[in-house]
């Protein structure tokens, strides 16, 4: 198992690959996002997409599985408080194979939890195009108690906003580098 101390800023982790099937797109869409271009193959032909595409939420769910298998299952994660930025950049279609890449943007001790990682994630349906980008914080347990005092942290009137702004800026650089 990896703890906060084991994870370093700048680390890049390939999260693996996942095939996207027409059946999976239709099943997910019919249950959770039944827009015609996700849930009805014939109707999808008559939309601006010209065919069936996966729901962005389905794409995010598949990326979450890659993220779990490639990183979280071997990490003492404390659960994420949410996603700071999520962008769907290109439709995912039946027959695509998604791949995910995680970049550790920053590691920091936390007043509320053992340690926090700032993550940038890119999901691609092929080698040239990005389908989804994500920026998030991921609290991770430390092996030993981290003693962090407020006077040792950088000054920021709104520390959450500072972290989000730095994460967005770093994610843009990660995304640009993986085109």
The pLDDT value given to residue 142: 86
d(Cα 34, Cα 17) in Å, to the nearest integer? Answer: 26
d(Cα 101, Cα 123) in Å, to the nearest integer? Answer: 7
Q: In whole angstroms, how far apart are CA 165 and each of 16, 85, 118?
A: 28, 10, 11
Q: In whole angstroms, how far apart are CA 27 and each of 31, 36, 39, 105, 141?
A: 6, 13, 8, 35, 36
pTM above 0.85, yes or no: no
Establish how many alpha carbons lie within 13 A of residue 53's alpha carbon, considering only the half-sphere containing its beta carbon: 19
The pLDDT value given to residue 167: 52
The pLDDT value given to residue 151: 47
The pLDDT value given to residue 147: 46
The pLDDT value given to residue 130: 84
The pLDDT value given to residue 109: 85
Low-confidence residues in the chain, pLDDT < 70: 111-113, 127-128, 144-179
**CATH number of the domain enclosing 96:** 3.10.129.10
Q: Which domain holds residue 49?
A: 4-177
The pLDDT value given to residue 170: 57
The pLDDT value given to residue 70: 97
Q: How many domains does the chain have?
A: 1
């Amino acid at each position: 198992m990896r703890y906060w101390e084991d994870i370093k800023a700048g680390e890049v982790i390939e999260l693996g690959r996942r095939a996207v099937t027409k059946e999976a797109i239709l099943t997910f869409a019919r249950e959770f996002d039944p827009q015609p271009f996700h849930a009805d193959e014939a109707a999808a032909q008559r939309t601006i997409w010209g065919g069936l595409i996966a729901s962005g939420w389905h794409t995010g769910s598949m990326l979450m599985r890659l993220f779990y298998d490639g990183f979280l299952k071997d990490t003492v994660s404390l659960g994420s408080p949410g996603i700071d930025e999520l962008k769907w950049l290109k439709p995912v279609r039946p027959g695509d194979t998604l791949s995910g890449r995680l970049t550790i943007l920053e590691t920091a001790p936390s007043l509320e939890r053992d340690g926090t990682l700032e993550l940038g994630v890119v999901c691609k349906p092929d080698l040239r195009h990005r389908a989804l980008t994500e920026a998030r914080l991921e609290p991770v347990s430390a092996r030993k108690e981290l003693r962090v005092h407020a006077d040792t942290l950088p000054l920021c009137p709104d520390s959450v906003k500072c972290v989000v702004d730095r994460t967005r800026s770093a994610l843009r650089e990660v995304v640009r580098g993986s085109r």
